[in-house]
Structure 1
């Protein structure tokens, strides 16, 4: 009798799990926007970043790209990150099908007030993004994490281990390396952040990065990046640099691996500048 009850409970559990999976609404893309708010970002930069995302989310070209998908809808969520476990949700999973949906997201972002936090944990951001995808009430044909940041990982687990765990789940990680900074923590940044993102952060089929060399470029860069992630790529996107198209850096050979612990090493050398336990 006990075995029969156990078998019934097991079958019931499997059926419930299957029904739960089937209940997840299909979308073209389940997209997580992970936005850097570490203290190396100045208040001006945080404002430009917020306004850039708000303008991109409801841009007509983005809305048009959404409509051209197989389902004509995407699911999107957004959070801000800094050090490991320093996470602030901007908005939970939202379904975007129409311009009205996009306008609502844009308004939420514009009303948000990002607060700079200590340290930089890209690995923590990736780990949290994977968790958000696991919890999503939508099933994306593609699952994408969009990570922006102006410095290398210097807190939490190594970025490579977090990246590999995400890619193993068939999740694509794209990057938006911010190549300029006038914030107070700029001493922990690196000049070749695009190369770092290329070798250490992005991953998965079709992954790419869009380097931002000046804040004037940011609104256009994030808009074009969203269009590509959604899946409708216009013919002229000169700022978008697929990983395979990145030129080899002159200070290292094309076969020499990038030191993906460079951020942790810089922190160890300069941590005396901050009262950090």
Structure 2
């Protein structure tokens, strides 16, 4: 009989240990899982690339962003920073990070600023969306919302149609927001800048519950645009009614 009781005790101990392991492996709940997907294709020259990065760093270190993070039910979000170009170039520049206080946010911003800047040819928004969507799998977080924030200065010219990638991501419960950079400068090889890029993003790129875009009228205006956009994404507030998911142009 004593042996039977000992065996029962061992079985209970194993079950308790198993429950503990399962709890330890549980995803961390957050208010938002956010992929910042940033265009570093050939149309973005070194100066424009610098302005983009400085825009993200300035926005993330703004007290309004930090207050928005703390204002959610959990008071924390998860974020990763991805740079992309053609269909063969997508790079996690800063991995998934839990952001909940000033130090964590500023450390994330510093990692963006200090990472080596790489670039490649062509523009594949579809590959950027596909790559970003996979990053939500087994990332250690469980967000009430999952969002891909796509910024860029051109249309999809490599890879599969961007609408296909958008629709698959939306079907998986992911929202895609856009930050088109409306730049009238010719690209480095002399080609004309895209016409009606914000309309292109509206029709082909953004999608999912509450999807919206915030156009920036130039790379110089990028910091203002990303600050406005991040505040909307982190707070979960809808874009202005009657705009079809499109907010006003960010400018200086």
Common fold, TM-score beyond 0.5? yes
* Unmatched 5+ stretches in structure 2: 1-17
After superposition, the C-alpha distances for 1:163-193 in whole angstroms (9 at most, x for unaligned) are 0000001100000001114531562642100
- Contact 1:167–1:203 under 8 Å retained in 2: yes
**Structure with larger Rg:** 2
CA distance in 1, matches of 2:242, 2:112: 27
Q: 1:213–1:81: structure 2 CA closer, same or farther, 3 Å change rule? A: same
SS at match of 1:216: coil
1:137 matched residue in structure 2: 140
SS at match of 2:182: coil
After superposition, the C-alpha distances for 1:86-116 in whole angstroms (9 at most, x for unaligned) are 0121111000000000110111111123222
1:8 matched residue in structure 2: none
* Unmatched 5+ stretches in structure 1: 1-14, 248-277
CA distance in 2, matches of 1:61, 1:142: 20
- Contact 2:33–2:77 under 8 Å retained in 1: yes
TM-score with structure 2 length normalisation? 0.84
1:72 matched residue in structure 2: 75
Matches within 5 A, 1:205-220: 205-220=209-224
1:198 matched residue in structure 2: 202
CA distance in 1, matches of 2:108, 2:247: 33
Is residue 101 of structure 2 the alignment partner of residue 98 of structure 1? yes
- Contact 2:43–2:187 under 8 Å retained in 1: yes
1:242 deviates by 4.8
Is residue 33 of structure 2 the alignment partner of residue 30 of structure 1? yes
CA distance in 2, matches of 1:82, 1:246: 26
2:15 matched residue in structure 1: none
CA distance in 1, matches of 2:65, 2:196: 29
CA distance in 1, matches of 2:40, 2:132: 15
- Contact 2:122–2:158 under 8 Å retained in 1: yes
CA distance in 2, matches of 1:107, 1:37: 19
1:230 deviates by 0.5
**What is the alpha-carbon root mean square deviation over aligned residues?**
2.6
CA distance in 2, matches of 1:27, 1:119: 35
Tell me which of 57, 60, 65 is aligned to 1:62: 65
- Contact 2:86–2:122 under 8 Å retained in 1: yes
1:135 deviates by 3.1
CA distance in 1, matches of 2:24, 2:158: 34
- Contact 1:172–1:204 under 8 Å retained in 2: yes
CA distance in 2, matches of 1:139, 1:226: 19
Matches within 5 A, 1:159-238: 159-180=162-183, 181-185=185-189, 187=191, 189-231=193-235, 233=237
1:269 matched residue in structure 2: none
- Contact 2:213–2:247 under 8 Å retained in 1: no
1:274 matched residue in structure 2: none
Q: 1:186–1:123: structure 2 CA closer, same or farther, 3 Å change rule? A: farther
Q: 1:244–1:99: structure 2 CA closer, same or farther, 3 Å change rule? A: closer
1:243 matched residue in structure 2: 244
CA distance in 2, matches of 1:190, 1:20: 50
CA distance in 1, matches of 2:110, 2:38: 17
